[in-house]
Amino acid sequence: MTNPISGFSKLSKQEKIDWVAEQYTHNPTVTKRLLQKYWNIDDELQKLHDEFIENTISNYYLPLGIAPNFLINGKLYAIPMAIEESSVVAAASKAAKFWLDRGGFKAEVLGTEKIGQVHFMYSGDPDHLETFFLQVKPKLIEAAKSLTANMEKRGGGITQIELRNKTSELKDYYQLHCTFETLDAMGANFINSCLEQFAETFEEEAMASPLFNEEGKKIEIVMSILSNYVPNCLIRAEVSCPVSDLRPNASIDPEEFAKKMIRAINIADVEPHRAVTHNKGIMNGIDAVVLATGNDFRAVEAGVHAYAAKDGTYKSLTHATIAHGIFKFWIELPLALGTIGGLTNLHPLVGMALEILHKPSAKELMQIVAVAGLAQNFAAVSSLVTTGIQEGHMKMHLLNILNQLGATDLEKKKIVEYFKDHTVTQSAVVQVFNTLRDNP
């Protein structure tokens, strides 16, 4: 039985590795060798990685792929994607190529508003609180000047502070609901610093205010934190073409294909069980680009899924129509991204990914990411309503199965060739592999 450890963070990297390997793995020698195998041979680069987080023992790699041929607002992109799931990059690339010859993707940013809140409790007279807030609001902005000066020089900063009464939802609960423009930065640290300053000033001024001293009630700050739900930081991306051009392969009737696509998307709009998987496929594309560009994919995921449920039921993020012979397919979703600050200035591969994307502004990156999600969804739904999702996915997964079986390069070559004309399933691959092993 392992015992708790005190002072783990103070151990050297090698001591941390030794402790984990010896306390939690069956073969410490193999564990240590594996962890060291994933270290970077460049000591400076490894040191940089070690300092991204705490208690590091190694690096955890994901494949970095490229999906080419994305025509977005008339500009051609090759999109970097960091992801482990088979067929995602291939599907995005296929959708990009399909729409390249049909006018490409159109994208626009509908808003860039970020949100943060100071949550507090107050059991006194709401009118007193409202009067106090109007008096103190200019002081809140003034107190944060040292934090906002640089952002304001670039055209950003605090855009609004509102007092919101939430006592109908939770007894004595109020909030300062604050909005910000953070330009090319995602802005989390900037927003949180401003909020903490608002809270400090708000509480100090309240303690000195005769309004609260007379009634004997105090303001109690609970917490100050940004929100990852940013429904006004919104991007729209779309594709369209005549229905007659909507032919993913020669055997499919364009009109029938268009109708199937719309039915499938309508189902995701009314059936939450389908909508979750539908939107998960969208996030395959979005997360992969967000991760490759050093942004916070967990924040993006949380905000996007909250937006999908904004009307009280979890729904599809994509939509499709046919009008006057034109098929239109689009997505609207919130994305709070940055191209400066955080890992974007530190991680060499993030810097390279942004360079490949023509060094986009935050708004341009938001458009690129939304397009990646739309492309991924088009590819997935196209497969679902025609050949089925497994045919393409399992072909891309074939090498993973062969690697699990320990196939040699020659065996991989022969088996991949065989499955060019046969359906890939786990059992079928195992059977062909075993037959080949028995009869080399």
Distance (Å, whole) CA 110 – CA 236: 7
Known active-site residue 393: yes
On the question of pLDDT at 392 being above 70, the answer is no
- Map residue 288 onto helix, strand or coil: helix
The active-site residue, picked from 18, 50, 85, 332, is 85
Distance (Å, whole) CA 273 – CA 287: 21
- Map residue 26 onto helix, strand or coil: coil
In the structure encoding, which two tokens stand for residue 226, read together? 């940004």
- Output the pLDDT for position 356: 98
Mean pLDDT of the chain: 93
Q: What is the mean pLDDT of residues 103-111?
A: 97
Q: Which of 106-110, 278-282, 418-422, 427-431 has the lowest mean pLDDT?
A: 418-422
Distance (Å, whole) CA 57 – CA 35: 7
The active-site residue, picked from 75, 273, 280, 422, is 280
Q: Phi and psi for 434 in degrees, rounded to 5?
A: -65, -40
CB atoms within 10 A of CB 165: 13
* Residue predicted with more confidence, 315 or 407: 315
145-186 pLDDT, tens per residue? 999 999 999 999 999 999 999 999 999 999 999 999 999 999
Residue 162 pairs with which residues in a beta bridge?
177
Q: Measured over all CA atoms, what is the biggest interatomic distance in the chain, rounded to whole angstroms?
A: 93
Distance (Å, whole) CA 248 – CA 212: 68
In the structure encoding, which two tokens stand for residue 434, read together? 């075993």
Encode 401-419 in three state secondary structure: HHHHHCCCHHHHHHHHHHC
Exposure of 118 in the CB half-sphere (CA atoms within 13 A) = 23
Yes or no: say if 233 and 336 are a contact pair by the CB < 8 Å rule. yes
- Output the pLDDT for position 355: 97
Q: Is 409 exposed, middle or buried (0-12, 13-18, 19+ CB in 10 A)?
A: exposed
Residue 158 pairs with which residues in a beta bridge?
180
* Residue predicted with more confidence, 388 or 220: 220
- Output the pLDDT for position 397: 67
Yes or no: say if 266 and 369 are a contact pair by the CB < 8 Å rule. no
Known active-site residue 347: no
Structural domains of the chain, with CATH: 17-61 (no CATH), 64-110+234-380 (3.90.770.10), 114-227 (3.30.70.420), 393-438 (no CATH)
The active-site residue, picked from 196, 205, 269, 296, is 296
- Which ranges constitute the DSSP H helices of 51-153? 88-100, 126-143, 145-153
Name the DSSP letter for residue 216. Answer: T
On the question of pLDDT at 377 being above 60, the answer is yes
Known active-site residue 355: no
Distance (Å, whole) CA 304 – CA 287: 11
Task: Could you list the beta-strand ranges (E) of 318-427.
Answer: 318-323, 326-334
The active-site residue, picked from 32, 49, 363, 393, is 393
% of the chain at pLDDT higher than 90 = 80
Q: Which of 133-137, 294-298, 341-345, 357-361 has the lowest mean pLDDT?
A: 341-345
5-62 pLDDT, tens per residue? 999 999 999 999 999 999 999 999 999 999 999 999 999 999 999 999 999 999 999 9
On the question of pLDDT at 393 being above 60, the answer is no
In the structure encoding, which two tokens stand for residue 255, read together? 């009109």
Q: Which of 17-21, 261-265, 370-374, 407-411 has the lowest mean pLDDT?
A: 407-411
- Output the pLDDT for position 439: 73
% of the chain at pLDDT higher than 70 = 97
Q: Which of 305-309, 328-332, 433-437 has the lowest mean pLDDT?
A: 433-437
Known active-site residue 85: yes
Distance (Å, whole) CA 266 – CA 42: 51
- Output the pLDDT for position 388: 63
Give this prediction's pTM.
0.88
On the question of pLDDT at 391 being above 60, the answer is no
